[in-house]
Amino acid sequence: MSDHAEIVEVGLRDGLQNEATPVDATTRARWFNALADAGLNRIEAGSFVSPKWVPQMADTDQVITGIHRRSGLSIETLVPNQKGLDTALAANVHRIAVFTAASDAFAQKNINCSVAESLERFAPLIQAAKDAGLAVRGYISTVVACPYAGPIAPGAVADVTERLLELGCDDISLGDTIGVARPKEINAVLDAVLPLVPAARLALHCHDTYGQALANILQGLNRGIRTFDSAVAGLGGCPYAKGATGNLATEDLIYLLEGQGLTTGVDLNSVCQIGNDICQTLNRRTPSKVAQAMQC
Ligand code: HMG
Ligand code: MG
């Protein structure tokens, strides 16, 4: 089993999409470059979604213009439809992420269609992205619970996973969108999903609303998963999942992974300092226990 863990940094997308005040593209590009310099190789630059729905992500193409490209760096964006894919291709990203849910109620609120409709929409989109040489991630939200429909059956997550794989997704990120999941529940989801997809193609995306994210990541590690999403300074939330707080902080994730004997290639001190810069700009205290302890 691999002793390297891959971190997908989602703070500039998942985090900033939820900020009341949009952050300008120059600042976002500066943070992106600093995160890449800290050793993060997979970073979400933002989303190509409707600016009417998520105005904070409106100028993601300008963020990407300001990125210092280097070999091994994957610039990633969310894409919900053909219009988003066209913009992503023009911006020369490396990977797009399509996003749906295990709950129809959440998909309706988030992308204005049912899960089945979203998968129909993704089919030509994923094909076109792959034809253009892009990697494609498939996000599944609400894998344990939905803010509108309540508990989600693991079988529903398995069904969507299977369809996204059939459509050509390279990796699947399982999202605990509202951060309520506990290890037993994550284990049940993995019981349903792991027979369908090798752990190497799965990621866990844990929001930390109830403080369970690290415990859930550890559960994923024990089941062979080596890719985890996190957000510098624990930024994040989803505008369509009220009350959900940020993702697990990247600082806390690095500390856990390296303590478990895995390499991440990411410099913890540098990420703490970037987190500090972001918190000062956004005028807030970091929720990261590791950053607090290290007093960056
Ligand atoms: P719709 O209103 O059904 O779509 O939205 P539409 O096709 O009728 O378009 C409406 C308007 O948006 C039109 O403009 C389009 O041109 C424009 P108008 O003609 O009215 O002037 N538009 C676009 N503009 C730019 N780029 C585009 C685009 N598409 C349409 N790509 C749609 C459907 C999917 C577009 C909308 O619902 C949407 O953008 N949703 C995005 C929601 C979102 O970004 N949520 C947060 C990310 S998901 C998340 O955070 C969860 C995750 O972190 C995992 C987890 O935690 O579980 C990934
Ligand atoms: Mg999220």
Q: What is the mean pLDDT of residues 248-258?
A: 98
For ligand 1, whether the C-beta of 75 sits within 6 Å is: no
What is the per-residue pLDDT for 1? 67
Contact 197, 208 (CB under 8 A): no
Domain 6-294 sits in CATH at 3.20.20.70
Q: Which residue in the list 146, 238, 272, 279 is annotated as catalytic?
A: 238
For ligand 1, whether the C-beta of 110 sits within 6 Å is: yes
Distance 65 CA to ligand 2 centre (A): 24
Q: Where are the beta strands (DSSP E) in 40-181?
A: 42-47, 74-78, 95-101, 135-141, 145-146, 150-151, 171-176
* C-alpha–C-alpha distance, residues 293 and 229, integer Å: 22
Q: Which residues pair with 96 in a beta bridge?
A: 77, 136
Q: What is the mean pLDDT of residues 85-95?
A: 98
Contact 137, 99 (CB under 8 A): no
Q: Which atom of ligand 1 is nearest to the CA of 175?
A: 57
* C-alpha–C-alpha distance, residues 275 and 291, integer Å: 8
Which of 19, 44, 50 most suits a substitution to test ligand 1, by most atoms within 8 Å of the C-beta? 50
What is the per-residue pLDDT for 242? 77
Percent of the chain at pLDDT > 90 equals 93
Tell if the pTM clears 0.75, that is, is over it: yes
The per-type count for the chain, helices as H runs and strands as E runs, is 11, 10
Q: Which atom of ligand 1 is nearest to the CA of 207?
A: 56
Q: What is the mean pLDDT of residues 88-94?
A: 98
What is the per-residue pLDDT for 240? 77
For ligand 1, whether the C-beta of 238 sits within 6 Å is: yes
What is the per-residue pLDDT for 110? 97
Q: Which atom of ligand 1 is nearest to the CA of 17?
A: 46
Phi, psi of 83 (to 5 degrees): -60, -45
For ligand 1, whether the C-beta of 54 sits within 6 Å is: yes
- Given a cut of 90, whether residue 122 has pLDDT beyond it is yes
Distance 31 CA to ligand 2 centre (A): 19
Q: 182: helix, coil or strand? A: coil
For ligand 1, whether the C-beta of 83 sits within 6 Å is: yes
What is the per-residue pLDDT for 236? 82
Contact 24, 63 (CB under 8 A): no
Using CA atoms, how far residue 212 sits from 163, 283, 293, in Å, is 28, 25, 19
Using 50, 70 and 90 to split pLDDT, how confident is the model at 241?
confident
Calculate the average pLDDT of the chain: 96
Q: Which atom of ligand 1 is nearest to the CA of 238?
A: 50
The domains of the chain are located at: 6-294
Which of 19, 49, 76, 174 most suits a substitution to test ligand 1, by most atoms within 8 Å of the C-beta? 49
Q: Among 45, 73, 39, which Cα is nearest to 269's?
A: 39
- Given a cut of 80, whether residue 243 has pLDDT beyond it is no
For ligand 1, whether the C-beta of 53 sits within 6 Å is: yes
Closest residue by CA, ligand 1 atom 24: 50
Phi, psi of 271 (to 5 degrees): -65, -40
Distance 111 CA to ligand 1 centre (A): 6
Is residue 238 annotated as a catalytic residue, yes or no?
yes
Q: Dump pLDDT digits (tens) for 27-46.
A: 999 999 999 999 999 999 99
